Amino acid sequence: MGTTPCNALAQPGRLNKSGIQETNDMRAFKKKASALAMGVGLALTGLGAFGQTAYPCPLVKIISPYPPGGTTDILSRLLAPGLAKELGTTVIVENKGGASSNIGTEFVANAASDGCTILLGNNTGIVINRNLYKLRIDPVKNLAAVGEVASVPLVLYVNTSVPATSVNQLLELIKNNPGKYSYASGGSGSPQHLMGELLKLEKQLDIAHIPYRGQGPALADVLSGQVPLAFETTTAIAAQLNSGRIRALATTGAVRSKGMPDVPTMKELGYPSFVIENWYGVFVPSKTPSHLIKRLNQAVNKVLKSADVAASLSKLGSSDVTGTAEQFTQFIAKELPYWESLVKRSGATVD
């Protein structure tokens, strides 16, 4: 017959649900174990709720290198609320326009590499301006790509006072009235400017370029009739198409835009050189740690795939362009020779 330990016989106990007598020591141990398990559970719950540790910035600034009203500003403000939620911190948009986005782009390139200052840049500031301006930085070398946000075609549009309802009518009107017409753009070197210069070159048009500090001011002056026509992104122009003040004649997409299916493409109309899109993405200073770039990339992609943001981007003419930071970097490398060639072919200069 087995023996029972003396200290167990000496301590008062009670039967548990399994019919085993528990001592005070046993109950104390179970209480500590339960508390420990609860603590671990809460810790795991916290990780599940936040996904990972808190983002190391009390405030994140998205720098939009253009004035309010343009595509970068629209996309920045579309991205900011979701990014704040994903990073668990405050996110604000700050407009730093001027010099065809060079001022804001340089500002971010020279900012601290802590992930707290990010750029919503585009092909103008990253790959085009380096072919037109004497820059104090190299955007490709001094900025690190985080992730692409959108890619949208341009729209050739006119103020409704212009007596043209098609591209061919517009070109004939300009040709028959040399020096009378001008076109607006958000700045020298922008794709909007390059498309205007390419049209001018291919069709031998006498038309002046009027550069602005951003697409917002350029659009405002076409809407008011100060300038008769321009190229603009589907994103910036979408809200104005039903205003009665402008008329869309064609887009520069490879296929018709979902947001404006009744508007033909330039390619359809016999202008194969005019198939381009404006792309936009998030960038940080080049020395930003890789783990912060990865964290930002994951947050940006999650926001872009959220139902409301994805629906908004689709209406604005952009398809899903999400991917890794490495994929975006590779995409930019392929874009460099294309835009360098287009700048030379169009004959564009800084006005």
Task: Give the residue from 266, 280, 271 showing the smallest Cα distance to 236.
Answer: 280
- Residues 226 and 282 occupy one common structural domain: no
- Please provide the average confidence, as pLDDT, over all residues in the chain: 87
- Residues 166 and 241 occupy one common structural domain: yes
Judge whether 1 lies within some domain. Answer: no
- Residues 109 and 138 occupy one common structural domain: yes
Q: What's the pLDDT score for residue 52?
A: 58
- Residues 169 and 246 occupy one common structural domain: yes
- Residues 295 and 230 occupy one common structural domain: no
Number of domains the chain is built from:
2
Judge whether 38 lies within some domain. Answer: no
- Residues 182 and 320 occupy one common structural domain: no
Judge whether 166 lies within some domain. Answer: yes
- Give the tens place of pLDDT for each residue, 155-192: 999 999 999 999 999 999 999 999 999 999 999 989 99
- Give the tens place of pLDDT for each residue, 205-249: 999 999 998 889 999 999 999 999 999 999 889 889 889 999 999
Q: Low-confidence residues of the chain, pLDDT below 70?
A: 1-52
Judge whether 262 lies within some domain. Answer: no
Which of 251, 270, 287 is the last residue in one of the domains? 251
C-beta separation of 146 from 282 below 8 A: yes
The residues that bridge with 145 in the sheet, in sequence order, are 283
- Residues 136 and 71 occupy one common structural domain: yes
DSSP state of 89: S
- Residues 64 and 201 occupy one common structural domain: no
- Residues 144 and 158 occupy one common structural domain: no
- Residues 181 and 224 occupy one common structural domain: yes
Judge whether 45 lies within some domain. Answer: no
Judge whether 338 lies within some domain. Answer: yes
Domain extent at residue 181: 153-251
Alpha-carbon distance of 84 to 76, in angstroms, equals: 12
Judge whether 18 lies within some domain. Answer: no
- Residues 160 and 295 occupy one common structural domain: no
- Residues 161 and 232 occupy one common structural domain: yes
Q: What's the pLDDT score for residue 347?
A: 87
Q: How far apart, in Å, do the first and last CA atoms of the chain sit? A: 105
Judge whether 189 lies within some domain. Answer: yes
Which helix (H) or strand (E) segment holds residue 208: the answer is: strand 208-211
Q: What's the pLDDT score for residue 238?
A: 86
Q: What's the pLDDT score for residue 10?
A: 39
- CATH number of the structural domain spanning residue 338: 3.40.190.150
Which of 251, 286, 307 is the last residue in one of the domains? 251
